[in-house]
Structure 1
Amino acid sequence: MEHLSPADAQALLQQSPDALFIDCRSEMEYLFVGHPKGAHNVPWNDGPDWEVNPHFVQVVKKLAGQASARPVLLICRSGNRSTAAARALEGAGFSNVYNVLHGFEGDLDAERHRNTVNGWRFEGLEWEQY
């Protein structure tokens, strides 16, 4: 697994049109907080029990098609879930896996707020909200 800054992840996505971008946050985060434009939502874990999604790897394999060497970029809120999800994909044979550092919302600031220190939205990269 390689770790990329949000800006470097965006550059890789632009340079590799076959790259698969996975937002592994919960469905509610994806829908209501927003998500990077073009990212597919495949939760690593989700409510109500917040257990690891037993179908995560299978769903990503389906989205990736036959190309296990296809670049797969993973993002979550802050980079923790996406790291765990990336390890699972590597264990399943994916060879070109990237984790987006600081995630979509970034690290907490001194007042415990996100989106003020780093992350996808903080860097002004394209995102959308439904």
Structure 2
Amino acid sequence: MRHDAGGGPLLQARPAQGYAGDVSPQLACQWWQAGDAVLLDVRTDAEREWVGFVPGAVPLAWKQWPGMALNAGFDDGLKAAVPAGKKAVMLCRSGVRSIAAAKRAAELGIEAYNILEGFEGDPDEHAQRGQKGGWRLAGLPWRQA
């Protein structure tokens, strides 16, 4: 069952295997704006440039375009971005790559969460994103270049 099956956003973290848990875009934004978490946008530089970005989020690609090779600087960038004792909330396009990034962060000793639905949400019946969930559709802070 999806996190939003009850008709509202997930108001607390849901435990997950290999990382601290899954959170709704709304809860991630709340933690981030309160200073309780660092928001890491793990999408590619191209995605942030073409689709939109969250002002103030740390841009740290999990994989790089073209070719989608793992970012060799991810670990160092993550350690530099997240101070000891802070949570990390991971944002990708749909909430899939951010799971892998959260798992890696947990391996490095960081309390990391995946943001469900990601920036663009799930594909609709036409296989297009942006109309079914996600950070952007929720009306949370974002911009286009």
Partner of residue 9, structure 1 = 28
Aligned mate of 2:74, from 56, 65, 75: 56
Task: Provide TM-score, normalisation by structure 1.
Answer: 0.91
Number of equivalences: 126
Q: Which structure's residues are more often helix, by fraction?
A: 1
Structure 1 segments of 4 or more deviating over 3 A? none
Partner of residue 79, structure 1 = 95
2-side partners of 1:20 and 1:13: how far apart?
A: 6
Aligned mate of 2:133, from 118, 122, 127: 118
1:127 is paired with a residue of what secondary structure?
A: coil
Aligned mate of 2:40, from 19, 22, 40: 22
Residues 63-102 of structure 1: pairs in structure 2 closer than 5 A: 63-65=81-83, 67=84, 69-94=85-110, 96-102=111-117
Q: Amino acid of the residue matched to residue 67 of structure 2?
A: D
TM-aligned CA deviation for residue 109 of structure 1: 0.3
2-side partners of 1:105 and 1:49: how far apart?
A: 21
Unmatched 5+ stretches in structure 2: 1-19
Partner of residue 7, structure 2 = none
1:73 is paired with a residue of what secondary structure?
A: strand
1-side partners of 2:102 and 2:48: how far apart?
A: 18
2:90 is paired with a residue of what secondary structure?
A: strand
2-side partners of 1:125 and 1:63: how far apart?
A: 22
Q: Percent identity?
A: 37
2:104 is paired with a residue of what secondary structure?
A: helix
Task: Provide TM-score, normalisation by structure 2.
Answer: 0.82
Unmatched 5+ stretches in structure 1: none
**For 1:8-49, what per-residue CA distance to the aligned partner results, in whole angstroms no more than 9, with x for missing partners?**
11111123x152110000001011211123211100001222
